[in-house]
Amino acid sequence: MNGRTRLYNALNVAAITNLLDSYGGEPAIFSGTRIPESFSGDNVINFFRNGNVNNGIEYNEYPYLINCRAASDYESEELAQAVIDEINRAAVTDGLVYCELLATIPPADETDLYNTPITVIMKTR
C-alpha cells in the first residue's frame, strides 16, 4: 500500500468528511495537485506528494501537502484543524503521520477559495 492510499483512508473519516462537500456521491477529497473543474462546491481537500520518498532508511518517509479549502478563512481553518486532530501523530497502516499546520492563504481572486495547507510526513515500514 502506498502513501497516497494510506493518507486518503486516514482523511476519509466522519470528523473530516462531515465538513466537506460531496462530489459524485463521495466526500470531496482529491488526490492530486488539481481539483476537478467540474467540482462546484467550496469545502474540499486535495493532497499530493510534494517531495522525494526516503526509503534509504529502515522505514519509508512520504512527504505530502494537504490543502484544506473553503469559502471563508474560518471554515478553511476549521477543516484544517479537523485534519490535524484526526491524523497528526496517528497510526496508519504500518506507520505514523506527523503534521505541521501552515498559515491560511487568502483567495487569489473572486473565483478562488481560502486554503489552509498542512505538511505531512508519513513514516511507514
* Residue 96: CATH number of its domain: 3.30.2000.10
- The rounded mean pLDDT for the chain is 92
Mean pLDDT within 80-88: 96
Question: 31 or 61: which carries more pLDDT confidence?
Answer: 31
21 has pLDDT over 80: yes
pTM passes above 0.85:
yes
The angle, 0 to 180 degrees and rounded to 10, between the axes of the packed helices 73-87 and 3-11 is 110
* Domains of the chain: total: 1
93 has pLDDT over 80: no
Range of the domain at 70: 3-124
74 has pLDDT over 60: yes
Residues in the chain: 125
Q: Report the relative pairing of strands 44-49 and 29-31 from DSSP bridges.
A: parallel
